[in-house]
C-alpha cells in the first residue's frame, strides 16, 4: 500500500518485517482478511495514544470477546463442512449402503479370520508336539519318525437348485412369421418342460 497507510517502497525488508510484526496482523488458516489489515494499518498510523489502566483492561476484554466470537464462528463453519462431507460420504453420490449386507460381510470376514487363526494355532501345536517327541526320541536314543500335519479337508455339500425356464410360443397368425425353433428343438423343449 502506498503511504500514508502503507510504507514507502524504499523501506528495507528487515525494517518492513519488524513493522509488520509490531502491527500484529492476525491470520485465520493462513489468510489475512482485508478488514483486519486495514484496522492494523489505521491503528499504526492514528492509534499512537496511551491508554490508562481501565481503558487498557476494557480493550483487552473487547479483543478477547472478538477472538472468542471469531473462534466460535470458525468452529461452526468447520462443523458445517464436516457434516456436509459426512453426509456426502453417506449418500455416496447415489450409491446406497445396505446395513444388512455390511453386517453379513463383517460376519463372513470375521469368521474367515477366526477359522484361519484356529488352523494356524492347530498347526503350531502339531509342530510343538513333534518337536517334543523328537527331543524325547533323541534323549532315549530311539529313531524319530515325524508325522506330517494333515489339514482338515473341507466338507463339500451338494445343493440342488431348481431352475425354472420359461418358453414362449407364438403362432404364425399372430406374428406373421414362422417359429424360431425347428420342430425337433420344439419337441425337446416341450419334453423337458413336461419333466
How big is the chain by its Cα radius of gyration, in Å? 42
Please, what is the end-to-end C-alpha distance for the chain in angstroms? 94
* Residues in Cβ contact with 126 at an 8 Å cutoff, skipping those fewer than 6 apart: 149
**pLDDT for res 43:** 80
pTM over 0.85: no
**pLDDT for res 4:** 75
CA–CA gap between residue 62 and residue 68 (Å, rounded): 10
**pLDDT for res 83:** 73
Distances (CA, A) of 22 to 26, 41, 54, 131: 11, 11, 23, 77
**pLDDT for res 124:** 92
**pLDDT for res 18:** 83
**pLDDT for res 46:** 78
**pLDDT for res 135:** 92
**pLDDT for res 89:** 66
- Report residue 33: phi and psi, to 5°: -85, 150
**pLDDT for res 70:** 83
**pLDDT for res 179:** 47
**pLDDT for res 26:** 77
**pLDDT for res 57:** 84
**pLDDT for res 186:** 66
Mean pLDDT of each 10-residue bin along the chain, 195 residues long: 78 83 78 82 76 81 86 79 70 65 87 90 91 91 85 70 72 53 66 69
Amino acid at each position: 500500500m502506498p503511504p500514508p497507510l502503507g510504507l514507502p517502497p524504499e523501506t528495507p525488508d528487515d525494517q518492513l518485517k519488524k513493522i509488520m510484526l509490531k502491527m500484529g496482523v492476525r491470520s485465520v488458516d493462513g489468510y489475512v482478511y482485508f478488514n483486519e489489515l486495514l484496522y492494523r494499518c489505521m491503528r499504526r498510523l492514528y492509534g499512537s495514544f496511551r491508554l490508562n489502566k481501565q481503558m487498557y483492561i476494557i480493550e483487552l476484554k473487547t479483543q478477547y470477546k472478538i477472538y472468542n466470537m471469531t473462534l466460535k464462528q470458525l468452529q461452526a463453519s468447520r462443523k458445517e463442512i464436516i457434516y456436509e462431507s459426512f453426509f456426502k460420504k453417506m449418500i455416496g453420490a447415489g450409491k446406497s449402503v445396505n446395513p444388512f449386507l455390511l453386517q453379513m460381510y463383517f460376519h463372513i470376514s470375521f469368521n474367515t479370520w477366526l477359522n484361519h487363526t484356529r488352523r494356524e494355532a492347530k498347526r503350531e501345536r502339531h509342530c510343538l508336539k513333534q518337536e517334543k517327541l523328537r527331543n524325547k526320541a533323541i534323549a532315549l536314543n530311539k529313531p524319530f519318525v515325524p508325522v506330517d500335519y494333515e489339514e482338515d479337508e473341507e466338507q463339500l455339500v451338494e445343493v440342488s437348485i431348481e431352475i425354472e425356464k420359461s418358453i414362449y410360443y407364438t403362432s404364425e397368425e399372430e406374428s406373421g412369421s414362422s417359429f424360431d425353433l425347428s420342430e425337433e428343438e420344439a419337441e425337446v423343449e416341450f419334453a423337458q418342460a413336461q419333466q
